[in-house]
A and B are shown apart, each in its own frame.
Chain A
């Protein structure tokens, strides 16, 4: 069987398992873990698109997440928008912010991009806390209404139970990953990887680095912003803690351990890192201390992450096979 056909089959099997799982084992706890996995899968997948494939270390993802969350919540509560429109608007707003900070900082350097994205994320949190007339400050906006999604053919889906959110977020995560997969396996994705490896060489081949970088940042911001919108309706409250640095650190660890630029590696590490720390029941502070150590050790010992390590082993196997066939 060809490897692409195998990948397709594996992906279909994975999606089928995720959708069928609640039919067999339906506890609130497992559903909550599933929602958390789906949300972080989108966050880490979107970060992987920017950092793993395009080589831009973005700290702004949590800003996009919270921006989408606040926009969706405010549009529904203050402006009576439909949930679909509000969540989409949150994604568009996040994408616009991504485009703006990408354009202003990428002209200078990758250093500037990292610094500006970090400042953006922190600014979002501070503004959410201090712009009380819009965001109601640290109190946040509690009691978001139960979203009712209009479906084609006049039907509607009331998201009243955790199970509904499980299906919604898993469905969105699958859709987002399909988009990411299509992009990274296309011509555009190859161009992004070329730019990451050697920008000058890519440019000399007629690729436009800035356009590809901006596309990666904007698409990633959109996917993340929409995830933020869905996630706050699950939480039923939005407050400045959606901008918490905890999200940034967690999704970074997922991408680093999974291997930047490795689609399946990041998905796998996301699954492991959602389930394992929860079973161990650490407090968040202690978990972040451990993540910090993991990050330091990964950077010192295993810079390519799990995916990078597997890739190196695969290359070594090929080399060995090549030398054997030559002799």
Chain B
């Protein structure tokens, strides 16, 4: 077995794992604070990538301004989604929230198919063919940027959750909504922020991966399925658990993909999820927005 090849697989796995983590952490945050499983979460990743494609190709924006624009845009979309749809759903009506977000996902996904067709689009930017040689491997600089952006987003999320008043309020609501209301926290404002952050991170993930992979309307669909498995493995509502599970899944998938047929890569997330549910149903790291 060639060590450089293995190392290359691990590096690729870490990059994809960080992007899984961006999506799964947002999903987990929204679940922790609102107890809503956002079925449309993958579509915001897809929309982020689509927006990045159009910003680069049609507006001619550079890499960094595209990423910044898409992230800010996705965060605003998050506020709109909360105000228009999720804000009116009470915590008990869990099925209603799922069907609501499923409806949103159908509109966004099939609307994108209708408008842009399923033909994959490639984003051509200034960094597209730039590689960095490192310990005998070639790593695309765009993958490194995606990695850096993902890590920066983690750091920002942790800073918000642990160093700011609003982050403490967010953790408070996810631990006990009633107690949080009693000490004067507005659960609506906190929920709005959680949805905005979650969807913003999804958009960022889309913009960061758009130049690495092809962009097409069904990309969010297969991705969110893994994100669901990740949040079950990491513990529903546990943001750090989601991050760890996402990173592990990315690396393992990449390694398995290097040596075994594709069907094992596809089955890994599902198999791991079923195994965790049978052995440790509360998830590997338990419930709650905490580290």
Contact = CB atoms under 8 A, between A and B. Distances in A.
A300 B229 contact: no
A108 interface: yes
A123 B107 contact: no
Contact of B270 (A107, A123, A293, A303): A123
Majority DSSP secondary structure for residues of A touching B:
helix
A296 interface: yes
A292 B107 CA distance: 5
A132 to B, nearest CB: 8
Contact of A111 (B106, B236, B263): B236
B236 A130 contact: no
Interface in A272-327: 283-286, 288-289, 291-296, 298-300, 303
B270 A295 contact: no
B98 A57 contact: yes
Given A57-B98, A119-B229, A289 B106 contact: yes
B149 interface: no
Interface string B258-277: 00011100110110011001
Interface residues of B, number: 46
Given A119-B228, A293-B103, A303-B96, A130 B262 contact: yes
A245 B109 CA distance: 11
Interface string B82-95: 00010010000111
A300 B88 contact: yes
B225 A111 contact: no
Interface string A238-265: 0000000100010010001000000000
Given A104-B274, A108-B277, A127-B263, A299 B110 contact: no
A299 B97 CA distance: 8
A116 interface: yes
Interface in B216-274: 221-222, 225, 228-229, 231-232, 236, 261-263, 266-267, 269-270, 273-274
Contacts of A299: 96, 99-100, 103
A252 B278 contact: no
A113 to B, nearest CB: 10
A158 interface: no
Contacts of A115: 37, 228, 231-232
A108 B261 contact: no
A110 interface: yes
A149 interface: no
Contacts of A127: 263, 266-267
Interface of A: 51, 55, 57, 101, 104-105, 107-112, 114-116, 118-120, 122-123, 126-127, 130-131, 245, 249, 252, 256, 283-286, 288-289, 291-296, 298-300, 303
